[in-house]
Amino acid sequence: MESVVETDGGGGSTLTPTTINTPRKRKRHSKHCHDLYSVQTRSSGPPKSHHDPHYHQHPLLPSATQTTNTFTPPTMSTEKPSQVLNLPIYKVLQQITNQVRNEAPELRITMKPWARDTDTTWTSLLAEVIEALKPSDKKTMIFPEQRKLEDRPEAFREQLFPPGADLTKTSATGGLPIRTSFPAHIDLPERTPRTPEAQERLRKRAKEEMMTFGHLDPFVITNTATMYDGVIPLISGSLRLGGIDAPKLTGQELYAAGSEIKLDRTDMMWDTGSYGCIITRDILPRGFAEYLDTPENDPYRDETGAVVQVDGYVALTNTGFKFQEVIFRVVPPSRVPNSRSGVILGQRGFIDRMVHTATPRAILQRRGEEIGDDEWGVITISEYVDMDDVLHDPE
């Protein structure tokens, strides 16, 4: 459903010629000719008489009957045309939500607990929110959506896309592997039981992920062109996925219950342009995908996807990096540029918790190092912070 949001450009004055006018500044003045015009804020019409209450005679000008030579300039308008924005309703709400979060994050609302059998609707809930916002209401602006790349000037597109790029290509290759001497996959150790405090922290992070980033596109800038081919570094590794509130089982019992799975991948994208870590739903075993749809996982699922906890290992250039309890989002491929299936290693909870250096092939070649065209380059890490906020050196 879409809504039309109209932004009035504001009123203005229309400059209309009449016989009684205001002098226009000129370098030279003729005593036989006056360049005259007046400002009339309503519709244009015949010259106004001295008896008109809206008529104002300029004190330095002759009367209308004394004027013999007048210059009539072209009609000028300072009225701005109205601008009409056609936006999805959720985009408007999204902009307002971001503004409230940035300028008034302390505002809160008290409401009845959510339940399936209540009469709560979108509009009734929004009405309560509006009442809560009124004491702190502020002026705002709604901005148009950013144009897609294909709508931008051709000159700009030529700078981005190589000649002959196939914009319809949906290949899942999109990158090159990094250089590493570490094994692509390992057997991950069994997850150690969590304390109640650790489990509560995990739940809190999962819900924050849903609230903060659930409505966002996975990427800061969406680009569907094949300029990604050979540009994005690809990482090999092993991941173990589990539900946030998975049953307290261990080992094979978890796999049998369908609430935990292991994935071995050789094409995980290392992408600093992604808000967080992403797994597309189509690569999950059917049993685990169905588990994510169960009532047990309701608190960690919305219309855009679900969140899961992930322990894993990735083969970087200088270390085999192991991590625990990172929150990944499970989304359909349609939410990923190029509809690319697979795993994206992004910022939140992963890249933003490490000191890393990414050196592409062109730099290594310039330094005189040998590297094949089938390798992206090297990625190394020197420090990282785990989910308990403990600083580590890589193993």
- Per-position DSSP letters for 49-83, written without gaps between them: PTT-TT----TTS--GGG---EE-PPPEE-PPPPE
**How many residues in the chain?**
395
Minimum mean pLDDT range among 60-69, 193-202, 263-272, 354-363: 60-69
Q: Where are the domains of the chain?
A: 1-81, 90-136, 160-392
Residue with token string 């209450």: 53
Amino acid identity, residue 69?
Answer: N
**Angle (nearest 5°) at CA 342 between 337 and 344:** 70
Q: CA–CA separation, 312 vs 322, rounded Å?
A: 6
33-65 burial: b if 16+ Cβ within 10 Å, else e: ebbbbbebeeeeeeebeeeeeeeeeeeeeeebe
What's the rounded mean pLDDT across residues 37-46?
41
CB 332 within 8 A of CB 217: no
CB 222 within 8 A of CB 152: no
Return the structure tokens found at 379. 């990625």
Q: Does residue 284 carry a pLDDT above 90?
A: yes
CB 328 within 8 A of CB 278: yes
Q: CA–CA separation, 219 vs 198, rounded Å?
A: 30
30: left (phi over 0), alpha (psi -120 to 50) or beta: beta
Return the structure tokens found at 159. 């700078």
CA-CA-CA-CA dihedral for 329, 333, 339, 340, to nearest 10: 60
DSSP state of 27: S
Q: CA–CA separation, 249 vs 255, rounded Å?
A: 9
| Terminal alpha carbon distance of the chain | 52
pLDDT of residue 185: 87
Side-chain half-sphere exposure of 191, counting CA atoms within 13 A: 31
| pTM for this entry | 0.53
What 3-state class would DSSP assign to 228?
Answer: helix
Answer with the residue of higher pLDDT: 194 or 139. Answer: 139
pLDDT of residue 214: 54
- For residue 162, name the pLDDT band (cuts at 50, 70, 90): low
Return the structure tokens found at 210. 């849903």
Non-local (6+) Cβ contacts of 108 within 8 A are: 132
- For residue 328, name the pLDDT band (cuts at 50, 70, 90): very high
H or E element: which one contains 205?
helix 196-213
CB 336 within 8 A of CB 316: no
pLDDT of residue 277: 93
pLDDT of residue 121: 85
- For residue 247, name the pLDDT band (cuts at 50, 70, 90): low
- For residue 366, name the pLDDT band (cuts at 50, 70, 90): very high
